[in-house]
Amino acid sequence: MIDSLILFARKLLVKLVAVFAAFIPGIAFAIQPYNLPVGVTETSKEIFDLHMFGFWISFAIGVFVFAIMLWSIIFHRKSVRPTPAKFSHSLKLEILWTVVPIIILVALMIPATQVLTRTHDSSNAEIDIKITGYQWRWHYEYLDERVKFFSNINTPEEQISNQEEKTAEYLLEVDKEIVIPVNTKVRFLLTSADVLHAWWVPDLGVKKDAIPGFINEMWTIVDEEGVYRGQCAELCGTRHAFMPIVVRAVSRPEYDDWLAERQQGAEEEAALAQKADWTPEELLERGKQVYSINCIACHQTSGKGLPPAFPALIGSSVVLGPKAAQIDILLNGRSGTTMQAFGALLSDSDIAAVITHTRNSWGNSGQDQTVFPQDVAAQRSK
């Protein structure tokens, strides 16, 4: 606690000095168009129109209220008007400013209800995609298509910690995008594996909570090809800010090609999971891939983790110690921490591979340098 306070104070001081040095030329703020995106779906466009409608009505009411206040402030100040009026009620006025707002609200309510009703109708979707929120990444499963994958943020930690220049898509980039075809009704089935998350892509005009144990529905029809970015919108723990969403909308043929490619990949994966005769080199190579998909969000590419929440794997007693303990943690998770159980998510080969990877990377060198799928299978069946 004290240490972190001191560290905090030191960082603050450095920052403040840097800010004063850097800020003076930066005063001229580039004012960009800061508004809701119009977006690329009928829903997002309707929402935008309603938003502007609501805004202009609010603007008008605001101008009216402020104008009267300003009028009173200027012309009804004591120096201008030493004797105040005496009135203290007017039934007519009071009825007027009860009834007029009601009319305005009804005018907002009707179109808002129409749009709402339409967004609730997720029937007749051509494609169903199940989205599962995990701490802190998204899992996409194309139902009936045998395609499923995790989508992780892939902004390098060095950019986040200001050691490297930030690139244009900072924090809004992922290793695997979710791909959907344009002009097609796609239904999303949302759930969560742990805590609440919310799947939000502003350009699509969709946001909904991912709730463990429940399935929420929403849908979209994207009009234009392109890449659309969003973020998790419900506080889901430490790395809530670091689970972006990237949707790539493509033409139907492109989508079909992508899907076919993915399905082939899935078959190769399945074959790999069945493969029995792994060499240590193959395991190492495979393990690196598995690690980058499943582990880097917390333990980091560097293996240094983000202590204290996410321990370092470098020099970890579990990683350097006997293999049984590490296999157990991978299979069953670690209760009371955010280390989840991977038993149901990964094959024996992948678990063996990723353990082998951690035992041979970042200078780690301890007991049981190589773990084989058979070891995992044996422990799984216990």
Partner 1 sequence: MNEATIDIKTNEMAHDDHHGPAKGITRWLYTTNHKDIGTLYLLFSLLMLFVGGAMALVIRTELFAPGMQITTPEFYNQMVSMHGLVMIFLVIMPTFIGLANWMIPLMIGAPDMALPRLNNWSFWVLVIASIVLMSTFFVEGGAPSGGWTFYAPLSTEYAKPSITFMILSIHLLGMSSIMGALNIISTIFNLRAPGMGYMKMPLFVWTWLITAFLLLAVMPVLAGLVTMMLTDIHFGTSFFNAAGGGDPVMFQHLFWFFGHPEVYIMILPAFGIVSMILPTFSRKPLFGYDSMVYATASIAILSMIVWAHHMFTAGMPLAGEIFFMATTMIIAVPTGVKVFNWIATMFQGSITFETPMLFAIAFVALFTIGGLSGVMMAMASVDIQYHDSYFIVAHFHYVLVPGALFAIYAGVYYWLPKWTGKMYNETLGQIHFWLSFVSVNLTFFPMHFVGLAGMPRRIPDYSLQFSDFNALATIGAFAFGISQLIFAYIVIRAMFAGKPATQEVWDNPEGLEWTIPSPAPYHTFETPPEVK
Enclosing H/E stretch for 250: strand 245-250
| Residue 98 touches which of Cu ion, partner 1, none (Cβ within 5-8 Å per kind) | partner 1
Please say which residue, 149 or 278, places its beta carbon nearer to Cu ion. Answer: 149
Only one of the segments 56-64, 236-244, 264-272, 356-364 lies at the binding site for Cu ion (rule: CB under 5 A); that segment is: 236-244
Q: How far is the CB of 100 from partner 1 (least distance, A)?
A: 9
Q: How far is the CB of 161 from Cu ion (least distance, A)?
A: 21
Q: Distance between CA atoms of 226 and 320, rounded to whole angstroms?
A: 46
3-state secondary structure of 176: coil
DSSP 8-state symbol, 80: T
The alpha carbon of 150 is separated from its chain's Cα centroid by a whole number of angstroms, namely 12
End-to-end alpha carbon distance in the chain: 42
Please say which residue, 2 or 271, places its beta carbon nearer to partner 1. Answer: 2
Among 260, 276, 309, 378, binds partner 1 (CB under 8 A): 309
Q: How far is the CB of 123 from Cu ion (least distance, A)?
A: 28
Among 197, 239, 262, 357, binds Cu ion (CB under 5 A): 197
- Residues contacting 37, CB < 8 A, separation 6+: 44, 48, 202, 203
Q: Is 31 in the site for partner 1 (CB under 8 A)?
A: yes
Q: Which of residues 245-304 bind partner 1 (CB under 8 A)?
A: none
Please say which residue, 22 or 271, places its beta carbon nearer to partner 1. Answer: 22
Closest CA to 139 of 278, 280, 340: 340
Structure tokens at 23: 């800020």
Please say which residue, 135 or 316, places its beta carbon nearer to Cu ion. Answer: 135
Q: Is 92 in the site for partner 1 (CB under 8 A)?
A: no
How many residues of this chain interact with partner 1, rule: CB under 8 A? 107
Q: Is 233 in the site for Cu ion (CB under 5 A)?
A: no
- Residues contacting 135, CB < 8 A, separation 6+: 194, 195, 236, 237, 238, 239, 338, 340
Q: Where are the alpha helices (DSSP H) in 86-211?
A: 91-119, 157-160
Only one of the segments 100-108, 195-203, 214-222, 329-337 lies at the binding site for Cu ion (rule: CB under 5 A); that segment is: 195-203
Q: Which of residues 315-374 bind partner 1 (CB under 8 A)?
A: 338
Q: Which of residues 243-302 bind Cu ion (CB under 5 A)?
A: 243
Q: Distance between CA atoms of 298 and 306, rounded to whole angstroms?
A: 7
Among 17, 101, 267, 369, binds partner 1 (CB under 8 A): 101
Burial label, 23 (beta-carbon count in 10 A; 0-12, 13-18, 19+) = exposed
Q: Which of residues 161-220 bind partner 1 (CB under 8 A)?
A: 161-162, 166, 168-172, 194-196, 198, 200, 202, 205-209, 211-214, 216-217
Q: Is 231 in the site for partner 1 (CB under 8 A)?
A: yes
Structure tokens at 320: 């350097």
Structure tokens at 339: 């280390």
Using CB under 5 A, list all residues that contact Cu ion: 197, 232, 236, 243
